[in-house]
Structure 1
Amino acid sequence: MAHALQLRRAVADDLDWIHELRHRVYAKELGQHAPDPTGRLRDGLDGDNVYLVVARGADRLGFVSITPPWAGRYGIERYLTREELPLLTEDALFEVRILTVEPRWRSTIAAPLLMFAALRWIASRGGRRVVVMGRTELLDMYQAVGLRPTGHAVYSGALSFEVLTGAVIELMRTAMSRYAGAVERLRAGLDWQLDMPFLPRADGCEHGGASFAAIGTDFRSLHRRREVVAADVLDAWFPPAPEVAAVLAEDPAWTARTSPPTGADGLLAEIATARALPVEALSVGAGSSDLIFRAFGRWLTPESRVLLLDPSYGEYAHVTQEVIGCHVDRLPLRRADGWRIDPARLAAVTRSGRYDLAVVVNPNNPTGRHLPAAELRAAIADSPDTMRWWIDEAYMGYVGLSESLADLAAVDPRVVVCSSLSKMYALSGVRAAYLVAEPTVTEQLRRWTPPWAVSLPAQLAAVAALRDPSYYADRWAQTHTLRHLLAVDLAAVDSSASIEEAVSNFLTVTLPPDGPSAARLVQECRRSDVYLRDLSPMSTAYEGRTLRIAVKDSAENARIVAAYRTALDALRSGWAAPGPVSPRVPTGMTAR
């Protein structure tokens, strides 16, 4: 691909060319700035900007500048204050600036490619909105791609600009629908060297689980499951209770061909017994995602207002914002506060009465922080009767089931508790979950639950698991030990990284600002068949530097540490190849 177009992040050697090109275009050609005797036009945000460059071989064609929110300031603030342009106060706002192409390449795809690359880079870092200063004479072009004027005009030298903005979701949707053919042409023959895939997922939601692609989603190479460390998803490191395996192995042919109890009555009864809850307060589903989609689809409309934690489990933003189209606000969690969910802030925001639903994942994923039950109960008690609370307790076992709010949900029609049996009970593959709500609420949901929603293997496995609480209590306790040992070993590899354990079956690693991005490290670890999760798309709070690692057993944790060390060495020495790493193709198969 020596003569293919390259799209890459600028390195130090590119900066002099960027400054020289800016001077030629904005000082000499357009008259926006006065000429500089050095022939270079620098930017006050050079230390914070991210520059993307399109090149062909040794020839640089053009660049675009991105200012991330963690820079703490934007170039547009030279012209407008935050009071004049309130969107500058939004947490996930990125500024796209000074897209510049060499004169002889202006009739090529260089400019559209840089615009698309900027959008993908912003999305990969959790960006939700962009702001742009677009030259007035090119306003039609900006509006055609989905940007909308804010009503502010800016004048700089001989040029006039319109301030435009757009939601990242909508801009990407426009690019992938209205301009699908153009996007494919951009992709043809392109050497994409950025640390995210060229295209987003088809459903628009960034999940973990890339490890299964390495195993083989056509299931023809399942032996690879013993070679791949799947630490990018939060499946349990331990097997399910012995009785689970026994009941599934007793007569697998019968289990596979037999229709399950239509309404999962036996499973409902077992949950009621295990959790000391009335069976009428329960509803079951094929995993928590099934319950989320079913319940939210009934309760919410595009007019609904929803409050989410940020960062938190990405499925909630996907369902509320992208699938249903709700008005979504975020309660920001801060690294400086240890990612703690402040109950006073939560109560103050929800007390306003503006929300139809508040979602609290507790313990939170991906921060791993837990809000004590008493504090969460107090916030709920202080909220309006018109607002519903959805409490996701998928990881509550790692704190203690006594911290569950299930008893409150069974009697308070404002509160719903969702509990996955997947992660805590090592049942991710069979998909089983339940929610707890006041009986009139569960009665409504049951009417919209299809028959046989939970498979027979899942019902059998879940019942057997719930009947062996001591087995799981021991495994949850062992998880804390394994997590701590993993944290100690990772910290020994690189003291400049921040390791945060929290309380659940995972930990996070935040790389230093002058180190590799989380995406690059995740990609490099895949060369060792070790799959970790880049948290960058989930929130701008991670600044593209944080990854999540699921706790595994001792042997796989050792492989994680070894891969982490090897990846850091490769990235620091410059041996790592640029761009996303594709899953390894099993022997005898053809990559498509």
Structure 2
Amino acid sequence: MGRDLQVRVATPEDFEWIHELRHRVYAAELGQHPPDPAGRLRDGLDDGGNVYLVAARGPARIGFVSLTPPWSGRYALDKYLTRDELPLLTDEDPFEVRILTVEPRWRATAAAPLLMYAALRWTAARGGRRVVAMGRAELLDMYLAVGLRPVGRTVHSGAVTFEVLTGEVIELTRRARERYGAALERLRSAVDWRLDMSFAPRPDGCEHGGASFTAIGTDFRTLHRREQVVAADVLDAWFPPAPGVRAALAEDPAWAARTSPPSGAEGLLAEIATARSLPMETLAVGAGSSDLIFRAFGQWLTPGSRVLLTDPCYGEYAHVTERVIGCRVDRFRLRREDGWRIDPDRLSAAVGSGRYDLVVVVNPNNPTGRHAPAAELRSAIAAAPAGTRWWIDEAYLGYVDPAESLAELAATDPRVVVCTSLSKMYALSGLRAAYLVAEPSTAAELRRRTPPWPVGLPAQLAAVAALRDPEHYRDRWRRTHELRRQLATALAGLDEDLAVEESVANFLTVTLPPDGPSAAELVAECRRHDVYLRDLSPLSPRYQGRTVRIAVRDTAENARIVAAWGAALEALRSGSGSGSGSRTGSASRVETPAVAAVAAVGSV
């Protein structure tokens, strides 16, 4: 391949060539469709359904692949099979990958593998967890080699026979990196990658916020940059901790740094018990809620466990259950048209089968920002089978009402555990302190599995002081609601096509219109102004690649967010924006093992 190979989303100018190449291959070459006098083969899903990724060398287009996302509401496979015959189209929200097509002269190059990999990355960046495809029967071994597997259905289209195939995005990504890692690294440094996601996923496969710290400097040599960067991609508090916290940290920092803390955080446990009116034996502490999640889930769950997560949901839960432990995970889908509300009756029906070992509910939910009333959750838990454990994450409950906590229930019901971070509500994210509430035997077992000194001395000092000043935080939480409303009003005023949704906590979400820039493009453009926001696309296909989460900051930083958003919209609509695709230099001809097989034209 030449030095100017690029991969991009198809532009309107590409479609004449796409339809002409499809006709040459699928009508003339393969006999899958009857010839058209105009020499064009169009697709019924092109009108609002399909997305095409194109590989080009300079002005010459050399291949494309088509994707149909689940939010289009229909698939090409619907022409051949009913949803009863292929329930995964309804149950799994798959992305359909189709019609990988390469110009004949480029079929012996890496064009087809590159397009397949691009389709996988595009799918993952939109929260896709499964793909479905039709693969030509004579190429089945090739599809098996890349990780796809037959579902037991065969379809016929003209003279061509296809196997229906599926694969999990996690597994397909792992296999691609393991089998073709060296070739992909050569491509990474060679291809002009113009898609709105990175070429490679994070090493741990879990998407987090916090990219703003890369702008400040993770080696801590340029910490002055913190004054220039608006870190609205993480949900840290905009306000400082209580005066007593700052006094405790400042009194003797040298002593606090060099001194081992109480080994079991006894004083912190006692303060939590007092502040929350809970028996001390029902508590366990950790260095942030993620510490408690990893520790508890690692004890309770195995690869044979089945877990129910809401969708969308805080990404750490899917990461731990699916990728670290390897559980079977099902999703309880929340819907924008329902206001992202958890319907307690629908939840009870989903859990009532008794097949779940664990149900996770983040309440208020991050990232939807909705709160499920405690009474509704209590009813759902009461109706659930005895063998189902519930994990209730209340990291943001202070922004609603501490009286809505299920901690009292968790202290007595062995099926319920409540986890609460002190990071977000108490402005202690940098110190890492959290606790969970469980009936005494469950809490005792977790404490036994906790290493000594689980929370550092500065964090223990700060957390104790914070819990002793509830009025300071109540005032800050009230002010957060005011700032959020002001930010929402200002963002909505930029463009009537923006859908601004306030949460009950310290963030809001903004959804871009379907015909506008993607969330990833908008987020990347805002970074040019040192404003960091969170693209929610990787968390769930519910967001359709168009929703951004914004943490509430103080008045001045909120004004910078609004200004950066407006400038980014203007730049992207005028075509002057940078986008988020990483243009990583020139391309060279790259061959891979099995290129001849993978590059063969098929309806993948």
TM-score, normalised by the number of residues in structure 1: 0.97
Paired residue secondary structure (1:96): strand
Structure 1: which 4+ aligned runs deviate by more than 3 Å? Answer: 578-582
Paired residue secondary structure (1:153): strand
- Residue in 2 that maps onto 1:344: 345
- Residue in 2 that maps onto 1:566: 567
User: Which letter maps to 1:500?
Assistant: E
Answer whether contact 2:572 2:579 (CA < 8 A) is retained.
Answer: no
User: Which letter maps to 1:530?
Assistant: V
Paired residue secondary structure (1:179): helix
Answer whether contact 2:155 2:162 (CA < 8 A) is retained.
Answer: yes
- Residue in 2 that maps onto 1:376: 377
- Percentage identity across paired residues of the two chains: 74
User: Which letter maps to 1:575?
Assistant: S
Whether 1:16 aligns to 2:16 is yes
Partners of 2:368 and 2:42 in 1: CA distance: 38
Answer whether contact 1:6 1:193 (CA < 8 A) is retained.
Answer: yes
- Residue in 2 that maps onto 1:589: none
User: Which letter maps to 2:179?
Assistant: R
- Residue in 1 that maps onto 2:40: 40
Per-residue deviation, 1:58: 0.5
User: Which letter maps to 2:302?
Assistant: T
Paired residue secondary structure (2:249): helix
Per-residue deviation, 1:243: 1.1
Per-residue deviation, 1:230: 0.5
Answer whether contact 2:236 2:427 (CA < 8 A) is retained.
Answer: yes
Partners of 1:580 and 1:399 in 2: CA distance: 39
- Residue in 1 that maps onto 2:272: 271
Whether 1:507 aligns to 2:508 is yes
Query: Aligned in 2, Cα 1:397/1:388: closer, same or farther, shift over 3 Å?
Result: same
Paired residue secondary structure (1:45): helix
Per-residue deviation, 1:502: 2.3
Partners of 1:54 and 1:73 in 2: CA distance: 26
Aligned ranges 1:39-438 → 2 under 5 Å: 39-47=39-47, 48-438=49-439
Per-residue deviation, 1:34: 0.9
Residues 381-426 of structure 1, C-alpha deviation per residue, up to 9 Å, x if partnerless? 1111111100000000000101001111011111000000000000
Answer whether contact 2:146 2:172 (CA < 8 A) is retained.
Answer: yes
Per-residue deviation, 1:178: 2.1
Answer whether contact 1:523 1:581 (CA < 8 A) is retained.
Answer: no
Residues 81-134 of structure 1, C-alpha deviation per residue, up to 9 Å, x if partnerless? 111111111343000000000011111110000000000000000111101111
Query: Aligned in 2, Cα 1:213/1:262: closer, same or farther, shift over 3 Å?
Result: same
Paired residue secondary structure (1:440): helix
- Residue in 1 that maps onto 2:460: 459
- Residue in 2 that maps onto 1:545: 546
C-alpha RMSD of matched pairs (Å): 1.1
Partners of 2:63 and 2:189 in 1: CA distance: 18
Answer whether contact 1:69 1:91 (CA < 8 A) is retained.
Answer: no
Query: Aligned in 2, Cα 1:3/1:180: closer, same or farther, shift over 3 Å?
Result: closer
Aligned ranges 1:511-526 → 2 under 5 Å: 511-526=512-527
Answer whether contact 2:519 2:548 (CA < 8 A) is retained.
Answer: yes
User: Which letter maps to 1:527?
Assistant: R
Paired residue secondary structure (1:486): helix
TM-score, normalised by the number of residues in structure 2: 0.95
Paired residue secondary structure (1:319): helix
Answer whether contact 2:199 2:582 (CA < 8 A) is retained.
Answer: no
Query: Aligned in 2, Cα 1:144/1:300: closer, same or farther, shift over 3 Å?
Result: same
Partners of 2:106 and 2:2 in 1: CA distance: 18
List gaps (5 residues or longer) in structure 1. Answer: 583-592
Partners of 1:186 and 1:395 in 2: CA distance: 43
Answer whether contact 1:391 1:418 (CA < 8 A) is retained.
Answer: yes
Answer whether contact 1:431 1:454 (CA < 8 A) is retained.
Answer: yes
Partners of 1:580 and 1:474 in 2: CA distance: 42
Higher deviation after alignment, 147-156 or 283-292: 147-156
Partners of 2:412 and 2:134 in 1: CA distance: 53
List gaps (5 residues or longer) in structure 2. Answer: 584-604
Paired residue secondary structure (1:493): coil
Partners of 1:279 and 1:5 in 2: CA distance: 63
Per-residue deviation, 1:310: 0.4
Partners of 2:582 and 2:272 in 1: CA distance: 43
Answer whether contact 2:525 2:579 (CA < 8 A) is retained.
Answer: no
User: Which letter maps to 2:8?
Assistant: R
Higher deviation after alignment, 17-26 or 152-161: 152-161
Answer whether contact 2:95 2:128 (CA < 8 A) is retained.
Answer: yes
Per-residue deviation, 1:581: 6.6
Per-residue deviation, 1:156: 1.1
Partners of 1:395 and 1:142 in 2: CA distance: 45
Residues 38-60 of structure 1, C-alpha deviation per residue, up to 9 Å, x if partnerless? 11100000021000001111111
- Residue in 2 that maps onto 1:590: none
Per-residue deviation, 1:182: 2.0
Residues 446-491 of structure 1, C-alpha deviation per residue, up to 9 Å, x if partnerless? 1100001101111011001000000000000000000000000000
Paired residue secondary structure (1:426): coil
Answer whether contact 1:91 1:540 (CA < 8 A) is retained.
Answer: no
Per-residue deviation, 1:316: 0.4
Partners of 1:2 and 1:405 in 2: CA distance: 62
User: Which letter maps to 2:91?
Assistant: E
User: Which letter maps to 1:384?
Assistant: P
Partners of 2:59 and 2:34 in 1: CA distance: 29
Residues 487-507 of structure 1, C-alpha deviation per residue, up to 9 Å, x if partnerless? 000000011010000201000
User: Which letter maps to 1:334?
Assistant: R
User: Which letter maps to 1:258?
Assistant: T
Paired residue secondary structure (1:76): helix
- Residue in 2 that maps onto 1:585: none
Per-residue deviation, 1:364: 0.3
- Residue in 2 that maps onto 1:468: 469
Answer whether contact 2:194 2:582 (CA < 8 A) is retained.
Answer: no
- Residue in 2 that maps onto 1:28: 28
User: Which letter maps to 1:36?
Assistant: D
Higher deviation after alignment, 4-13 or 176-185: 176-185
- Residue in 1 that maps onto 2:590: none
Answer whether contact 1:92 1:126 (CA < 8 A) is retained.
Answer: no
Partners of 2:562 and 2:34 in 1: CA distance: 53
Per-residue deviation, 1:349: 1.3
